[in-house]
Structure 1
Amino acid sequence: MWRCPLGLLLLLLLAGELALGARRGRGRRELAPALHLRGIRDAGGRYCQEQDLCCRGRADECALPYLGVTCYCDLFCNRTVSDCCPDFWDFCLGVPPPFPPVQGCVHRGRVYPVLGTYWDNCNRCTCQEKGQWECDQEPCLVDQDMINAINQGNYGWRAGNHSAFWGMTLDEGIRYRLGTIRPSSSVTSMNEIHTVLGPGEVLPTAFEASEKWPNLIHEPLDQGNCAGSWAFSTAAVASDRVSIHSLGHMTPVLSPQNLLSCDTHNQQGCRGGHLDGAWWFLRRRGVVSDHCYPFSGRERDEAGPAPRCMMHSRAMGRGKRQATAHCPNSRVHTNDIYQVTPAYRLGSSEKEIMKELMENGPVQALMEVHEDFFLYQGGVYSHTPVSHGRPERYRRHGTHSVKITGWGEETLPDGRTLKYWTNSAMRKDTWPMTTPELLSPQLFS
């Protein structure tokens, strides 16, 4: 490493310029754009110093990567345009830079211009004039610290980043990705239907509806950012039950959008709804297939108007109904109306729920969703305590409704047996049968 006073620097630069002026043509480095006059001075600024690199004259190998280009730590770097590394003057020459540096903010290895605004997951960040990186402090739906804590905590399930949730706040996740309103006391006090097991009857340790009824159990539909699980789970269970009880003669995927747009009595569409109202509508009014009336999707805009109902029905006698309009999807012409029988509620006995599911098909259940559930990727889910030491805004929950398709058992390392329910949306182990997050299943048929 070498250093020299400012006067000597000027003399050396002048001599270098005269000598190089006699060369024919211009080298590649002479055509390079200036790094600093139009660029950003790295607030860290340790390039030549980091490598202890300072070179006399022209030395093309005396170079380092700088923000996607190359900067130099030799005297030639300041000949025509400045492609010197940011700390060349003060570290190699012991003098201030010849022009004021443009300050920026260093964040996660990148440099950002002053007063620029950027998104970091769900938070908006700004590079302030003095180089401070300031961000909003909203809890994000995808939280890497929580993912790490869950995966390191041996809670029996794996957490990960779902790209569809990236950029959403936790509040938005609760508001837009769930959507079932807790049932009223009149619903929770409905008489329970009890299923009696025969003498000596033994239920299997594992069951999956799609294996007993192949091609009759439908894949889940994506509700997107519509808080309409009340409509999606109801349509999903009804679709499977119609297919099973018609012995496969009818296999419709029933339309959640028909419920979202047309079942408006005490319902809020993509802002939440009641399960009992959805089943009442299915029984008394009926819905068409999803092919006929497809899901229109919904962006995160609560102020926007709900899509109007485009499929009504009228009575034909004997409880049957007929569509009064063509399908909203002009490519589909079959606008059959599907109805169901009255809804009923199951008790909390796991054996009775298992027998009902095995004999008649999937059941619907309410689930208390906490902040960590949005990170679920596999295993037997149960709510973890990883957010207990954080501020209250990081601990949120809401009510969701799901379709239960089966059950199973898993042997834990300590020899205990863990029973669990399965859900078609997960296609994997989901909740232990004893978890408080899965509320008493309610079957509607």
Structure 2
Amino acid sequence: MVSRDFLKMGRVFYIYSFFLIFFHFGDIFCDRRLMVNLYSVEENKLLKATRAKRSLDGERYCTRNGCCDSRNDDCSLFYFGKNTTCYCDAFCDQAPLGHVDCCPDFWITCTGQNLVESSTTSPPSTGTSDKMGCYKDGSYYEDKSIRKENCNYCYCSQNKFICTNHTCLIQPELIHFINTGDYGWKADNYSQFWGMTLREGFEYRLGTKPPTPSLLSMNEMTHRVSPDEEFPQFFISSYKWPDYIHRPLDQKNCAASWAFSTASVAADRVAIHSQGHHTLNLSPQDLISCNVHNQYGCRGGHIDGAWWFLRKRGLVSHQCYPYEMDENNVYRTCNISSFTDKHGKSHATEPCPNRLEDSNYLYQCSPPYRIPSNEREIMMELMENGPVQAIMTVHEDFFLYKSGIYKYTGTREKKSETHSVKIVGWGALRRPIYQKFWIVANSWGTKWGENGYFRIVRGENECGIERLIIGAWCHITG
């Protein structure tokens, strides 16, 4: 006869086993955790966090069930080919090589990319010729393996690579076209852009919304420059105001040029108009995280809204509220609050997010004003009051700019988007022909272009850069 103690021990073991199985499978299936034990040793090496390699085939998943924008974990189906789950949401195409969990027909159905067969070479004659696989660029790839070529994924199937057909941000043939042509500027291959699609470049590296009708109808503040006024052939703000002009920052893959250009122009003008009493750079992160009324942070914004925020609320320094952005473009909530006194001066009510910085002083500017779209008026404004903000149209070749005087080459890709920048000066070259240019600060870091700057044709409204010029008075005492 079985003792009671033995029965109790049996029940305890049964309950323990039940909970062990429950939590084990809960851990497998939650948060897109995929069952990695279904894969080979080679495939498991590619696993990172919760994303696993997926093979492509001709099965129709997204075609039958539709696609979802951005990330949607419910937009999934059971993938019988791998006995697991695959997805039809846009998020599944964001992972690097080897972590693709898209459904097999995602690229065709959801992104409209036709799979193009590229020519392949048979495997080398080393006894592996009877194996299924692909041979390319001196390397042999096993059947069903995936490789990434710039911004496109290639899948090896029955001795042929099948590749997606995205237009890449870095296009070697376009670089060659520019550098062998007579365009007055040179192009380069930037590692920070390699692997990105052109669509991602427009989506993540720009971010200024087209100017609204009310912004374009803003009254112009004219200097009424005399026809006899003589300007120097070369002028750059940092020569006239040493230590007052701030170098370009890098917005990275955050579509917030609206915030970076506004903060940089305001910082320069605060330093100039206060006669050097305040020379700190201002925080674009303050605008991105805290200026949320009709603004979209790293997904774009309006420069008039940014200047309104600068007038009403003000910005802390870049040291107080440094720029932070992770690889997933996660939105960061505002870490600075303030109140306005009876004189209209804003005061921060919280310490700096950077605890090593003591000053949480809020810098404010007057309402912005528009400078006429006239070359000489812009030059006078620059020389008297400091750098100005401009909105320009960006084409696919601009991402590749390395040096020289930029002018759109009229390449085949007609897509373009708006971008805001800071004009800091001008100049002219007399050889081989006389050519005038603006000197402009971008927000893609100092490794892009001419140490973060670029020159662009002056006096011809190239890429619309002279269409809308903005300045502000930022006088701050002691």
TM-score grouping bracket, smaller chain normalisation: 0.7 to 0.9
Letter in 1 for 2:194: W
- Which residue does the alignment assign to 1:175? 203
Give the drift of 1:104: 2.5
- Which residue does the alignment assign to 1:204? 232
1:191 aligns with 2:219: yes
1:442 aligns with 2:463: no
1:152-301 alignment runs, 5 A limit: 152-198=180-226, 200-301=228-329
Q: Distance in 2 between matches of 1:100 and 1:355?
A: 72
In structure 2, relative to structure 1, the CA distance for the partners of 1:110 and 1:194 (3 Å cut) is same
Letter in 1 for 2:212: S
> Is the Cα–Cα contact under 8 Å of residues 192 and 346 in structure 1 kept in the other structure?
yes
> Is the Cα–Cα contact under 8 Å of residues 175 and 227 in structure 1 kept in the other structure?
yes
Size of the aligned set, in residue pairs, is 343
Q: Distance in 1 between matches of 2:379 and 2:340?
A: 36
> Is the Cα–Cα contact under 8 Å of residues 226 and 299 in structure 1 kept in the other structure?
no
Q: Distance in 1 between matches of 2:133 and 2:428?
A: 56
Give the drift of 1:300: 4.7
- Which residue does the alignment assign to 1:418? 435
Letter in 2 for 1:224: K
- Which residue does the alignment assign to 1:17? none
CA deviation map 1:302-358 (0-9, x unaligned): xx5x21111121112312111011111111111001000111001111001001001
Q: Distance in 1 between matches of 2:123 and 2:162?
A: 20
- Which residue does the alignment assign to 2:137? 108
Q: Distance in 2 between matches of 1:274 and 1:421?
A: 23
- Which residue does the alignment assign to 1:13? none
Unaligned runs of 5+ in 1: 1-41, 47-84, 87-96, 388-393
SS in 2 for 1:400: strand
> Is the Cα–Cα contact under 8 Å of residues 374 and 466 in structure 2 kept in the other structure?
no
Letter in 2 for 1:365: A
Letter in 2 for 1:443: I
Q: Distance in 2 between matches of 1:214 and 1:193?
A: 26
- Which residue does the alignment assign to 1:308? 333
In structure 2, relative to structure 1, the CA distance for the partners of 1:155 and 1:315 (3 Å cut) is same
The structure 1 residue matched to 2:389, chosen from 364, 367, 378, is 364
- Which residue does the alignment assign to 1:123? 152
Q: Distance in 2 between matches of 1:154 and 1:117?
A: 39
Letter in 2 for 1:246: S
> Is the Cα–Cα contact under 8 Å of residues 176 and 300 in structure 1 kept in the other structure?
no
The structure 2 residue matched to 1:397, chosen from 370, 392, 416, is 416
> Is the Cα–Cα contact under 8 Å of residues 461 and 467 in structure 2 kept in the other structure?
no
Give the drift of 1:108: 2.2
SS in 2 for 1:408: strand
Unaligned runs of 5+ in 2: 1-119, 443-448, 473-478
> Is the Cα–Cα contact under 8 Å of residues 141 and 371 in structure 1 kept in the other structure?
yes
The structure 1 residue matched to 2:361, chosen from 331, 336, 343, is 336
Give the drift of 1:170: 0.3
In structure 2, relative to structure 1, the CA distance for the partners of 1:310 and 1:134 (3 Å cut) is same
Q: Distance in 1 between matches of 2:469 and 2:454?
A: 20
- Which residue does the alignment assign to 1:323? 348
Q: Distance in 2 between matches of 1:368 and 1:198?
A: 30
Q: Distance in 2 between matches of 1:100 and 1:161?
A: 36
> Is the Cα–Cα contact under 8 Å of residues 279 and 444 in structure 1 kept in the other structure?
no
> Is the Cα–Cα contact under 8 Å of residues 316 and 362 in structure 2 kept in the other structure?
yes
Q: Distance in 1 between matches of 2:294 and 2:338?
A: 19
Q: Distance in 2 between matches of 1:398 and 1:439?
A: 16
- Which residue does the alignment assign to 2:44? none
Q: Distance in 1 between matches of 2:466 and 2:441?
A: 17
> Is the Cα–Cα contact under 8 Å of residues 315 and 322 in structure 1 kept in the other structure?
yes
1:430 aligns with 2:455: yes
> Is the Cα–Cα contact under 8 Å of residues 225 and 298 in structure 1 kept in the other structure?
no
Q: Distance in 2 between matches of 1:402 and 1:265?
A: 22
- Which residue does the alignment assign to 2:69? none
SS in 2 for 1:317: coil
CA deviation map 1:265-319 (0-9, x unaligned): 1101110000001001000111101111111114355xx5x21111121112312
CA deviation map 1:142-185 (0-9, x unaligned): 00011111111211110110110011000000000000001111
Give the drift of 1:111: 1.9
TM-score (norm 2): 0.69
Q: Distance in 2 between matches of 1:363 and 1:298?
A: 30
Give the drift of 1:399: 0.3
Give the drift of 1:134: 1.5
Larger radius of gyration: 1
Letter in 2 for 1:122: C
> Is the Cα–Cα contact under 8 Å of residues 123 and 135 in structure 2 kept in the other structure?
no
Q: Distance in 1 between matches of 2:466 and 2:232?
A: 23
SS in 2 for 1:311: coil
Give the drift of 1:395: 3.4
After TM superposition, where is structure 1 displaced by more than 6 Å over at least 4 residues in a row? none
> Is the Cα–Cα contact under 8 Å of residues 196 and 352 in structure 1 kept in the other structure?
yes
CA deviation map 1:86-115 (0-9, x unaligned): 2xxxxxxxxxx6x87323212223222211
- Which residue does the alignment assign to 2:411? 386
1:60-79 alignment runs, 5 A limit: none
SS in 1 for 2:409: coil
Give the drift of 1:256: 0.4
SS in 2 for 1:335: coil
SS in 1 for 2:470: coil
Letter in 2 for 1:215: D
Letter in 2 for 1:403: K
Q: Distance in 2 between matches of 1:143 and 1:105?
A: 24
Letter in 1 for 2:281: V
In structure 2, relative to structure 1, the CA distance for the partners of 1:45 and 1:267 (3 Å cut) is closer
Give the drift of 1:424: 2.7
Give the drift of 1:197: 2.6
Q: Tell me the C-alpha RMSD between the 2 structures.
A: 1.8
